[in-house]
Amino acid sequence: MAITMARWWLLLCGGVLIGMGLLLHGQVWSMHSLREEVRGTFFLWRALGQLTFVFQDDLTKAALWAHECPAEVLDESERAATAMLVLGALCAVGSTLLRATKR
């Protein structure tokens, strides 16, 4: 019974970690694409967007925020997402290695 519960919890934790890692990878990819979009915009349009920030739509605000985010933060988030994926995969695979002993 205890082995079954341990297997179930390892599998659950592995799935949660894999899901969180994939979500974080998607968010980092989105931030990179938003930064590239802002970087490719004419500098006067960027300045105008900063001046009228309150009146901009949510996507434009997110792109302007992403442009201000340091690259080191994105790199650290990428490493954290990869670590979550690896730990999640280890938990999921480890759950299959637990076997109940026969009495």
**% of the chain residues with pLDDT over 90:** 48
Give the model's pLDDT for residue 67: 81
- pLDDT, one tens digit per residue, over 38-67 is 888 887 877 887 788 778 888 777 777 888
Domain ranges for the chain, please list them: 2-97
Q: Which long-range contacts (CB under 8 A, 24 or more apart) does 61-70 make?
A: 62/34, 63/34, 63/35, 63/37, 63/38, 64/38, 66/30, 66/31, 66/34, 66/35, 66/38, 67/34, 67/35, 67/38, 67/39, 69/31, 69/35
Residue type, 57: D
Q: Give the model's confidence band at 19: pLDDT under 50 very low, under 70 low, under 90 confident, else very high.
A: very high
| The pLDDT of residue 2 is above 80 | yes
Contacts of 86 (CB under 8 A, 6+ apart): none
pLDDT in tens, 30-41: 999 988 888 888
